[in-house]
Amino acid sequence: MTSDPSSAQPRKAARRLRGPSLRALLADIVESSEDAIFGRSLDGAVSSWNRAAERIFGYSAEEIIGRSSHVLLPPDRPEEIRRLMERIRRGARVEHFETVRLRKDGERLALSMSVSPIRNARGRIVGASTIARDITRERALEARLLEAGEEERQRLGRDLHDGLGQQLGGMELLCRTLRRSLSKRSLPEARTARLLVSQIQAATRQTRALARGLTPVMDRPNGLMLALEDFATTTRILFRINCTFHCEEPVLIADRGAAIHLFRIAQEAVSNAIRHGRARRVDLSLRRKVKHLTLEIRDRGRGLAAPAPNPTGLGLRIMKYRAAMLGGTLHLAGISPRGAVVTCNVPLARLNAVVPRL
């Protein structure tokens, strides 16, 4: 039996790359990567730093090696590295999670990061290896697209309210005048005129509801609370389900942009619950805690076990992205016996929240 000469070549090449040669090749690969690759000890001290890390973060290897990686951490994420290192100590990998870090000049960077344990020759975990891809430009573009979409929604809302809404109002006045004229002459067409008035009134209500949905949050601290209350009422009317909003204490947010992001998260979550979960009841709640705000959307539908959209679908990604833009997190979970809950936690420091007067 003769050996295949084509398979012998890779084996010979592998033997030549053992020891120092293989380590040198791996070092060259790391240095040539477009992604930041760096190592750190279990206490968080940086132990290696490639050229891409220098370019992305602005620190030279001489400046950063030996220093704590906490220097890269924004003030609003004080516990993130500690939690990451706890998972590494347990031998877990953390793959492709999106986060924010700081450059040397203080600029915030959006990163997609993967963190893996580093083991020594005896298999003991001695540190962590991090690969970080800079996605700041992509996220900035997505933010501009969301902003442009929001501006278009507001324009459409104004057009519906000031254009179609006003036209329907004028038509209703004309039909009322026609109905009175027909009624005075006891003509049978008066009944048709009354029906026309009723239909125009229904169309006006729907137009106003659509306009409010497109421009939901007023530019005032209690705008989010009012918008969610109105949204729950509109959802009950349009979809004929039990939809309620709970807010035990005032939650005042001066930043209208942040309030709009939170409203759109609630809007998407309720839409998913109705469209995919076939929910007949949805409860929205807004709570202010010591350091963060919690928005929760809980439904009594088919739950996550039933045929539903892909959990990595566009709607969920956009909700997570909106939460991340506010420095927060978003989680989707099933609840017993049936249903699902979407929970968004956002630091109050990122919301320009107003403390209500007692």
- pTM of the entire predicted model: 0.60
Q: Is residue 263 included in any domain, yes or no? A: yes
Residue 237 and residue 332 in one domain? yes
Q: Where are the beta strands (DSSP E) in 35-107?
A: 36-41, 46-49, 94-102
238 vs 203: CA distance, rounded Å: 12
- State yes or no: pLDDT of 58 exceeds 80: yes
Mean pLDDT of 122-133: 94
- State yes or no: pLDDT of 5 exceeds 60: no
Number of structural domains found in the chain: 3
Return mean pLDDT, the chain: 84
- State yes or no: pLDDT of 12 exceeds 70: no
Residue 149 and residue 224 in one domain? no
**Among 170, 187, 215, which residue terminates a domain?**
215
Residue 193 and residue 239 in one domain? no
Q: What are phi and psi of 330, to 5 degrees?
A: -135, 135
Residue 140: is it exposed, middle or buried by C-beta count within 10 angstroms (0-12/13-18/19+)? exposed
How confident is the model at residue 147, as a pLDDT?
A: 77
- State yes or no: pLDDT of 86 exceeds 80: yes
Question: Which single residue is written with the structure tokens 């580093």?
Answer: 118
CB 258 within 8 A of CB 354: no
Residue 125 and residue 160 in one domain? no
Q: At what angle do helices 189-214 and 136-159 cross, to 10 degrees?
A: 160
Report in angstroms the alpha-carbon separations of 271 from 47, 148, 311, 338.
Answer: 48, 22, 15, 17
- State yes or no: pLDDT of 55 exceeds 70: yes
**Among 191, 215, 239, which residue terminates a domain?**
215
Instruction: Identify the domain containing residue 93 by its residue range.
Output: 25-134
Residue 208 and residue 229 in one domain? no
Residue 121 and residue 158 in one domain? no
How confident is the model at residue 19, as a pLDDT?
A: 57
How confident is the model at residue 29, as a pLDDT?
A: 78
Residue 241 and residue 350 in one domain? yes
Residue 278: is it exposed, middle or buried by C-beta count within 10 angstroms (0-12/13-18/19+)? middle
- State yes or no: pLDDT of 157 exceeds 80: no
Q: What are phi and psi of 115, to 5 degrees?
A: -125, 130
Mean pLDDT of 267-281: 92
CB 294 within 8 A of CB 286: yes
**Among 159, 188, 215, which residue terminates a domain?**
215
Cis, peptide link before residue 347, omega less than 30° from 0: no
Residue 193 and residue 303 in one domain? no
Report in angstroms the alpha-carbon separations of 16 from 25, 26, 113, 175.
Answer: 11, 14, 33, 92
- In the chain, what percentage of residues exceed pLDDT 70? 87
Q: Is residue 316 included in any domain, yes or no? A: yes
Model confidence band, residue 11 (pLDDT cutoffs 50, 70, 90): low
Query: Which of 151-165, 186-200, 301-315 is modeled with the greatest confidence?
Result: 186-200
Residue 58 and residue 180 in one domain? no
Model confidence band, residue 266 (pLDDT cutoffs 50, 70, 90): very high
